[in-house]
Structure 1
Amino acid sequence: MADHLPPVGVEEEYFLVDASHRAVVAAASRVLPRLKPVVGDLVTGEASQYQVEGKTPPCGTLSELLHRLRRVRRAVAAAAADEGLRPVAAATPVLGMRAPIPLSTDPHYLAQVETFRSLYDTFAFCGLHVHVQVPDRDHAVLVSNHLRPWLPTLVALAANSPFWEERDSGYCSWRTLGAARWPVSGPPPYFSSAAHYDALAASLRVAGATHGERSLYWDVRPCAHLPTVEIRAMDVTTSVEEGAVLAILVRALVVQALERVRRGDPGPAVDDALLRAAYWRCARDGLTGHSLDPRTSRLVPTAHLVRQLLDYARPALAAHGDLRQVATVLRRLVTHGGGAERQRSAHARAGSLLDVVDDLADRTTAGLMPGAARVHRAPARTEPGPELGVLD
């Protein structure tokens, strides 16, 4: 926690797709052994055999985080290529998923099938999880209170899952809707202390709604095995730069929240129903149109919420030299759209989901692999989006 700049780490999940047919392939058990000698435990399995998960060690700066994420993606791409596959950083599979999904052999997931049953049939989602170091669990749950109002905006910024069951779902983040079906998921409750959190977690376990802390799928939670608060609301981003920038933005939100907690502020008690409605609206519309501000109950332009989020995080971003790069990426997302808009733009060019997968695969490893295909650079929207105003 030197100089009040806590380390940040990222977990991001990728689908494995056939390089020829572009469908997801149950190949994690073939790819992971190739990765073990290269990156060790920085790449592991996930719930389905369609996926692998890349991880970074704790990082102090944006440049370090980018370097670590690129190294992991490069290793995954090389191992996948040896099996005739490509990694795709999208939050839902575009082609080829069939229910029930082929589950991994991880005992954690296998032990839960009897309890959660058909919920696991379609549990094939890729997220961007951000860990930020905090002093203890009490700080973690109070930070969670402060982050709750910003979670819908993070959903909108990272929305990257418009396609489900080989058609457009009508949502920008179908992953958000799919994850909401689980008994413990989505925005966390408001907690008064770590003891309050632990008591509720224990009651949920007695009810059979969880199998321990790893299956508390709230979008902010104290990590069970690390001294961090974990933020899980965002879809995985196809752009490695956008993922790293959003992680640094989340760290700034945590730093600002920690300062308020130190001053005795337990966080705003945002209504649960309003927060879930705000989630739904941001998952549906992404960065376009209007969203519900859960603090005021008003419908406002989503760009307005992004601007407010940036203003909230500004002191921490400016103090550590991250403001300009974060603001530049947020302006680009608001103006040209994010992952969902890019996927739909790729589909609109010829009406082919094959093009969507190709574009996603190209962007996932853009600039990382020698001889990689050139990424399409057409903007997702032609009309200008709302401006973020003065950035610094």
Structure 2
Amino acid sequence: MADHIPTVGVEEEYFLVGAAQRTVVAAAPRILARVKPVLGDLVTGEACRYQVEGKTPPCRTLGELRHELRRVRSAVVTAAARDGVRPLASGTPLLGMRTPMPLNDDAHYLPQFEMFRSLYDTFAFCGLHVHVQVPDREHAVLVGNHLRPWLPVLVALAANSPFWEERDSGYCSWRTLGVTRWPVSGPPPYFSSAAHYDALAASLQEAGAIRGERSLYWDVRPCAHLPTVEIRVMDVPTTVEEAAVFAVLVRALVVRALERVRRGDPGPAMDEALLRAAYWRCARDGLTGHSLDPRTSRLVPTTHEVRRLLEHVRPTLAEHRELSQVTKVLRHLVTHGGGAERQRSVHARAGSLLDVVDDLAARTAASRAPGPARGPRLPGTEQTAAT
């Protein structure tokens, strides 16, 4: 780990919508049967039959990750089209969701359906999960401590779920609010060690709050079956470019955290109540509002936190020649808004969620990158030409 950059892999979830009606359709079993001969284990089902999940293998470079994301999306789009279905990369569904949702008859999920009951009735959310290679479980847990203060700004950057139950929720990331209803979810606690993490997990299982380690839905957790730390805080982005950039941005955060863990720094013990409040504020306002500065506990513009994030990871991004592209995408988001703003903009122009679905489906399939940005520069922009 000391002489090479950690690998990074992505899992991203998509809704399935009928091409004609634009409503979500319970087509996952049919789409999976078509696409699995092409992608194998790189595509799986979810609890709900409205969704499928695409995965990349571990990647070293931004270019490799971008290529793998496009390959997975292309195969899913092609398989779905044969059934008159389109994949949609949005944190929440827009049209046609019924309650309770149609659930998969899957051996993994059946015990959880019995345990969590009506929580699954409306659990229709699509996220971006980033796996970053770490030396061992101890490092994974301690890295999580260092990531906690940055989680709210990641919520804001990736916010892509403003609509819920066919109306504007008033939030940029309604998904963030929706997933925190579970007994073990949202920002992780502060842990002194992997043993501390395991002891709490054992207590939660004994109390009946989780069913195995995979029911620990914290937004940062050591992966139970891979040598990675998994970051689950972000809505799924609509474009491949944003998904790839968010993933390498998270990897850079992990690399910086690993450096501090190796120096014996256990991470800042940010108060959990303040962290949850920062989550809520960033989920509501996205990039256009304010967030809590974890150093001062004061409200600051969220764009200020984006700039501070870029400054923090700049050395890692520059070393691996990713600073230019990451800066370009972040500058575009700060200047023009992200996924939630795009969805609202289309809705404001057309006045119909049908048009929002069409725009999302086209961007999901075409994997279009953001256009050139104009406006104020983020710190470090002046150096990007050299990277």
Match of residue 198 from structure 2: 198
Paired with 1:25 and 1:365, the residues of 2 have a C-alpha distance of 17
Alignment of 1:21-100 (within 5 A): 21-100=21-100
Cα distance change of structure 1 residues 291 and 376 upon mapping to structure 2, 3 Å threshold = closer
Which amino acid in the other structure matches residue 297 of structure 1? S
Q: Which runs of 5+ in 1 are unaligned?
A: 369-374
Is residue 332 of structure 1 aligned with residue 332 of structure 2? yes
Paired with 2:370 and 2:87, the residues of 1 have a C-alpha distance of 17
State the TM-score, normalizing by the size of structure 1: 0.95
Match of residue 237 from structure 1: 237
1:294 Cα offset (Å): 2.7
Assess if the C-alpha contact under 8 Å between 2:93 and 2:163 holds in 1.
Answer: yes
Which amino acid in the other structure matches residue 285 of structure 1? D
1:2 Cα offset (Å): 6.6
Assess if the C-alpha contact under 8 Å between 2:241 and 2:370 holds in 1.
Answer: no
Number of equivalences: 382
Assess if the C-alpha contact under 8 Å between 1:303 and 1:388 holds in 2.
Answer: no
Which amino acid in the other structure matches residue 90 of structure 2? A
Match of residue 163 from structure 2: 163
Which amino acid in the other structure matches residue 296 of structure 2? T
Match of residue 261 from structure 1: 261
1:378 Cα offset (Å): 12
1:99-144, Cα deviation, whole Å (9 max, x unpaired): 1111112222211122211100001100000000000011001000
Which amino acid in the other structure matches residue 263 of structure 1? R
Paired with 2:338 and 2:94, the residues of 1 have a C-alpha distance of 17
Match of residue 343 from structure 2: 343
Assess if the C-alpha contact under 8 Å between 2:89 and 2:126 holds in 1.
Answer: yes
State the TM-score, normalizing by the size of structure 2: 0.96
1:85-110, Cα deviation, whole Å (9 max, x unpaired): 00000010000101111111222221
1:200-224, Cα deviation, whole Å (9 max, x unpaired): 0000001111011111000000000
Which amino acid in the other structure matches residue 300 of structure 2? V
Match of residue 388 from structure 1: 378
Paired with 1:130 and 1:100, the residues of 2 have a C-alpha distance of 29
Please identify runs of 4+ aligned residues in structure 1 that moved more than 2 A: 1-4, 375-379, 384-387, 389-392
SS of 1:105's partner is coil
Assess if the C-alpha contact under 8 Å between 1:359 and 1:376 holds in 2.
Answer: no
SS of 2:288's partner is coil
Over the matched positions of the two proteins, sequence identity in percent amounts to 78
Q: Which runs of 5+ in 2 are unaligned?
A: none
1:265-319, Cα deviation, whole Å (9 max, x unpaired): 0000000000000000000000002212233211001110001111111111111
1:159 Cα offset (Å): 0.2
1:389 Cα offset (Å): 3.0
Paired with 2:370 and 2:305, the residues of 1 have a C-alpha distance of 29
Assess if the C-alpha contact under 8 Å between 1:177 and 1:280 holds in 2.
Answer: yes
1:390 Cα offset (Å): 3.1
Paired with 2:191 and 2:370, the residues of 1 have a C-alpha distance of 45
Assess if the C-alpha contact under 8 Å between 1:303 and 1:387 holds in 2.
Answer: no
SS of 1:122's partner is coil
Assess if the C-alpha contact under 8 Å between 1:317 and 1:323 holds in 2.
Answer: yes
Which amino acid in the other structure matches residue 342 of structure 2? R
SS of 1:13's partner is strand
Paired with 2:355 and 2:319, the residues of 1 have a C-alpha distance of 42
Match of residue 135 from structure 1: 135
SS of 2:366's partner is coil
Assess if the C-alpha contact under 8 Å between 2:90 and 2:236 holds in 1.
Answer: yes
CA RMSD of aligned residues (A): 1.6
Is residue 103 of structure 1 aligned with residue 93 of structure 2? no
Paired with 1:106 and 1:2, the residues of 2 have a C-alpha distance of 41
